[in-house]
Structure 1
Amino acid sequence: MLTIGLIGGMSWESSAHYYRLANELVRDRLGGHHSARCLLYSVDFADIERLQSAGEWDEAGRVLADAARRVEAAGADLLLLCTNTMHKVADRVADAVRIPLLHIVDVTAATVRRHGLHTVGLLGTAFTMEQDFLRDRLAGHGLTVLVPGAEDRKMIHSVIYDELCLGVVSEASRTAYLRVIDRLIAAGAQGVILGCTEIELLITQDDTPVLLFPTTRLHVTAAVDQAITADQLVTTDQPVTADQLVTIDQPITTDQPVTA
């Protein structure tokens, strides 16, 4: 099994979800006492949140690029950035290392397309919903992306930072999110991307008949698939190379469905 490198801490609540999912998926795939071979580097989210609020994305990119180099040096074979919002600096992170970065948008978009959808709603932080770094990459996969209105975006962002990042899961917030999802569907969305790792702590497919695309679960599933299958493709004398993995520039093309 290849070693999955995780850059987390944004927030640690969602990073714990990444870790648990990776181990559960490996156990389910391989059985017995198998667990994920992984390395986790967790940043101090207070530092990242301050840089986000100040718009200091270059400095945030430097911090995460340094984390990526450390994870690579520790022995990771592929890399996950355990956050949607900080994929704004994904190119900077990918350029800092030789191992491939599995991009959360490419994984998600491939799943949306496999379900035959072309118009999706997007929930996430205000940065994710209002800036173009995720929306444009989704559009590059042929998807039309709808975002909530201004008041809904403000509420969604507040719940993420003031509740979910702090481990608070509120029934009132769940209801508010579901109302936003209903409005996105009424506006023409065929499904909804949960484009923030913490949102999956609040909303699951059991909460709504609308098809959801939980980016964390999809991201981890793709990483585990690659860690297991790529390891089976090479021997100890033939180290895995970037072109054998889905990278930041190579969206998934597998036909195997991934359930939400």
Structure 2
Amino acid sequence: MKKVGIVGGTGPESTVDYYQSIISKFQEKIGSKEELPELFINSINMYKMFNLLMNGQTQELINYLTDAIQKLESVGADFVVFTGNTPHIVFEQVQEKVQVPMISIVEETYLKAQELSLEKIGLIGTKFTMENDFFKQPFVSHNIEMVVPNQSEQEYIHRKIVEELENGIVNNDTKKGFLNIIEQMTDRDGIQAIILGCTELPMLIKNEDLNIHSLNTAEIHINKIMDTIFMDTTR
């Protein structure tokens, strides 16, 4: 079985979710509570990443994430993942600088949308995820339209993610605010699904809260991680 290297801390809450979910799914597949996957976690500073992005220090961010992955590679990780959507802004640049394969949360989410035959999708996440094109590119290039909230909605979502969700705070008023924004996007923009483009968002928004498809990027990513862990290494 392959060993996964996890670049965590982006943010801490989703890192815990990835770890627990991988263990749970691994034991379910093996059929034993006495088996555990071998994995490595390198938890980095989410706030340093945000500050580098805010200051336009793209190369410094690439170097910071590359160093984090190379440390995982040096201890024996067979493949590596980020536990957040935001660091995927520089996913391709980082992948070019490391030897170990990486699994993109963006690519896996696109494949899920394609599987569901979706044509118009909403995206919510940090301001960096909503403002930049890195998440939109694979969708738009395959004729799937992507819509983001308006500016004031984006500011509200980002603030609540950073101040609350990244710190493990689940606020019911915030949940109502997010669901209202998704409802507005459904009515205003005609979206068929919403991408939870921050891996902490499932703490707040559940499938049963919505009348449209919900693409939980963390869940999609973790399922691909599990497939890769059990991939035949002799091939």
User: Which TM bucket (shorter chain)?
Assistant: over 0.9
Matched, 1:208 2:210: yes
CA 1:21–1:142 in 2, change beyond 3 Å: closer, same or farther? Answer: farther
What's the counterpart of residue 23 of structure 2? 23
TM-score normalised by length of structure 1: 0.86
Query: How far apart, in 2, do the equivalents of 1:48 and 1:80 lie?
Result: 16
What letter is aligned with 1:142?
N
Mapped contact 1:194–1:213 kept (Cα < 8 A) = yes
Query: How far apart, in 1, do the equivalents of 2:143 and 2:106 lie?
Result: 12
Mapped contact 1:62–1:92 kept (Cα < 8 A) = no
SS in 1 for 2:135: helix
Query: How far apart, in 2, do the equivalents of 1:191 and 1:40 lie?
Result: 32
Q: Quote how far apart the aligned CAs of 1:167 are.
A: 1.3
Q: Quote how far apart the aligned CAs of 1:86 are.
A: 1.0
What's the counterpart of residue 32 of structure 1? 32
What letter is aligned with 1:15?
T
Query: How far apart, in 1, do the equivalents of 2:113 and 2:73 lie?
Result: 30
What's the counterpart of residue 193 of structure 2? 191
How does 1:1-260 map onto structure 2 within 5 Å? 1-33=1-33, 34-186=35-187, 187-228=189-230, 230=231, 233-235=232-234
Query: How far apart, in 2, do the equivalents of 1:164 and 1:218 lie?
Result: 20
Query: How far apart, in 2, do the equivalents of 1:37 and 1:116 lie?
Result: 36
Structure 1 residue runs of 4+, over 4 Å off?
A: none
- Unaligned 5+ segments in structure 2 are none
Q: Quote how far apart the aligned CAs of 1:73 are.
A: 0.8
* CA offset digits 1:125-173 (Å, max 9, x no partner): 1111111111123323432101111111111001111111111110001
What letter is aligned with 1:55?
G
Mapped contact 2:166–2:200 kept (Cα < 8 A) = yes
* CA offset digits 1:219-243 (Å, max 9, x no partner): 0110111211x1xx333xxxx6xxx
Q: Quote how far apart the aligned CAs of 1:206 are.
A: 2.3
What letter is aligned with 1:7?
V
* CA offset digits 1:45-104 (Å, max 9, x no partner): 232222122221211111000011110111111110111111011122212222211111
Aligned length: 233
CA 1:133–1:234 in 2, change beyond 3 Å: closer, same or farther? Answer: closer
Mapped contact 1:87–1:133 kept (Cα < 8 A) = yes
TM-score normalised by length of structure 2: 0.94
Q: Quote how far apart the aligned CAs of 1:42 are.
A: 0.5
Instruction: Give the aligned CA root-mean-square deviation in angstroms.
Output: 1.4
SS in 1 for 2:117: coil
Identity of aligned residues (%): 29
